[in-house]
Amino acid sequence: MQLPSRVKIIDVGPRDGLQNEKQPVPSEVKVGLVQRLQDAGLAEIEVTSYVSPKWVPQMADNHEVMQAIARKDGVRYSVLTPNLKGWEAAQQDRPDEIVVFGAASEAFSQKNINCSIAESIERFAPVVEAARAAGVAVRGAMSCTVGCPYEGDIAPGRVAYLAGLMKGIGVERVDVADTIGVGTPLAVQRAIEATQQHYGIDQISGHFHDTYGQALANTLAALQLGVWNFQSSVAGLGGCPYAKGATGNVATEDLVFMLQGLGIETGIDLDRLVDAGVFISDFLGRKPNSRVATALLNKRAG
Amino acid sequence: MQLPSRVKIIDVGPRDGLQNEKQPVPSEVKVGLVQRLQDAGLAEIEVTSYVSPKWVPQMADNHEVMQAIARKDGVRYSVLTPNLKGWEAAQQDRPDEIVVFGAASEAFSQKNINCSIAESIERFAPVVEAARAAGVAVRGAMSCTVGCPYEGDIAPGRVAYLAGLMKGIGVERVDVADTIGVGTPLAVQRAIEATQQHYGIDQISGHFHDTYGQALANTLAALQLGVWNFQSSVAGLGGCPYAKGATGNVATEDLVFMLQGLGIETGIDLDRLVDAGVFISDFLGRKPNSRVATALLNKRAG
């Protein structure tokens, strides 16, 4: 089995993980989480988003959080920017990278952001241009690249189409996201291969949700194609708050355990990562949604 | 990616899954579970064990259960037999296959059954001989083939040694079990390759616990070596009753979802399988420990 020798993980817990949390999370807790993630060795952290607080009240403190984090050399701090207004606000806080987004499913694009895929990309074009002119990196999150709640299976051609649009407006690297977690290893490989029509393997990251328990198998399939950038969420933060027990992003702990077992370098200290997950889970009043965290915490408890 | 075109699953829920349950499960519930599994398309079911009720009180009704199940043509019903006395009792109930067992870890063998690996195999020799003379198939469960709670990592050479002993006494096929779920894909492949020194790939089944969330990734790695027999437990039954939240066998629902996504034939109806898991979980007063079951039940609930 051919595998990369190292993997870089973007922990999206502070942003993607917390954004749907119903209970307000104070800025100092978010800052504490970012601190613990970088202390555990995470070199990329998705910190917050600059969207309207009407839509995502949990991220209304983006400025406070970005100003309060103690930046560490070599760590990349990224933020989500949905439009020029968001970019302008974000710019003040000097993110290393901004994230724009688009869906591979037309129906999802219409229902989620009320416009076609092509229109959404057109709207992002000036954001990407402004960010790059300011020397800030740009990542494109491609959602529903395997399945869509409205359309079902997504053809690889639709993923290639979206990747081509992203490339066209200057997005430097993209995430292949299985937003609803229905993907299985071969389907995920096809979505990645479609993306490779426009991006090199070094510019592609895997973002797999664990709703159906498939995220690590999908990660293994992606590793076998040479993908070495992955996104995950400490303590499995995220998921749909309306579906009890449904999970969102794969837990960073579970991903790191597999990578360490495969002999792949991540730079992450698993024990400290588990501690970071306990920190935020304690605040939220629940257990980490991670099998590795559960098993290791049981071991610690004897 | 080279994968088998079909997979046969042995559901071990009624035996391996239920054996550690603290609350007594009445025979008619066990029989109901076996019925629902075969209705869902399972062609192999591990039904019960013939061990002393002092050690495993949950399996004391082995005779009642085996007599009460409505056998279906083409389905293989297996039982665990730890010794000649167990075999003699089992024989009355006409199992299609018996299961003997051994550990790849000396420390585990000593702590679990109080004798060396070699001694345990010697004790099984007359059981295997008697079963084969009676025309009953024999499977060997090899535990701790990747990791051991006492010894840590297990060298592939120890797996080959155990497989050789199993072969020597006439065991026809073997399970490569990751009993404590610490295995990751390459380690699991090495355990399987070690087993192949003595058994063909058609005689090897994968039995992966999901304690660290690695079971499906390990299954994918095993499939890539050509393994096409796997064991799992409906609703993720099993696991250690002393470690809250720790899981045991991978859920059959999660395994089937991945295999269907890979286009691999299983003969199993996933909806009916979810129903079988709900049936036993309802009796046990909890939710199925399966991400696929959770997600599909959430979808059904709208």
Helices B270-284 + B27-39 axis angle, to 10: 170
Q: State residue B248's pLDDT score.
A: 83
Two tokens, residue A275: 């501690």
Report chain A residues whose CB lies below 8 A from the CB of B260.
Answer: 184
Q: Nearest-CA residue of chain A relative to B242?
A: A298
HSE value, Cβ hemisphere, 13 Å, CA-based, for B215: 35
Consecutive 10-residue averages of pLDDT for chain B (302 residues): 97 94 95 98 98 93 98 98 96 98 95 93 97 98 95 97 98 96 97 98 97 97 98 89 64 98 98 98 94 93 83
Residues 6+ apart with CB under 8 A from A170: A125, A128, A129, A132, A138
CATH H superfamily, domain A8-301: Aldolase class I (3.20.20.70)
E-only strand ranges, B27-172 = 44-49, 76-80, 97-103, 137-143, 147-148, 152-153
- Count Cβ–Cβ pairs < 8 Å, chain A vs chain B: 118
Two tokens, residue B291: 């991400």
Judge: B261–A219 Cβ closer than 8 Å, yes or no. no
User: Do β-strands B137-143 and A152-153 pair in parallel, antiparallel, or remain unpaired?
Assistant: unpaired
Q: State residue B242's pLDDT score.
A: 45
Q: Smallest CA–CA separation between B76 and chain A, in Å? A: 28
Q: State residue A173's pLDDT score.
A: 98
d(CA A209, CA A104): 16
Residue from B291, B297, B299, B300 to probe the interface with A (highest A Cβ count within 10 Å):
B291
Two tokens, residue A254: 């579970």
Tell which residue, A145, A150, A199, A210, has the closest CA to residue A171.
A199
Collect the ranges in chain A with pLDDT lower than 70: 239-247
Q: State residue A242's pLDDT score.
A: 45
Q: Which residue's structure tokens are 């089937």?
A: B256
Contacts with A, B 58-117, CB within 8 Å? none
Amino acid at A53: P
d(CA B38, CA A258): 34
For residue A212, give the nearest of B183, B219, B295 by CB distance: B295
For residue A294, give the nearest of B217, B221, B245 by CB distance: B245
Q: What is the pTM of this model?
A: 0.96
Q: State residue A221's pLDDT score.
A: 98
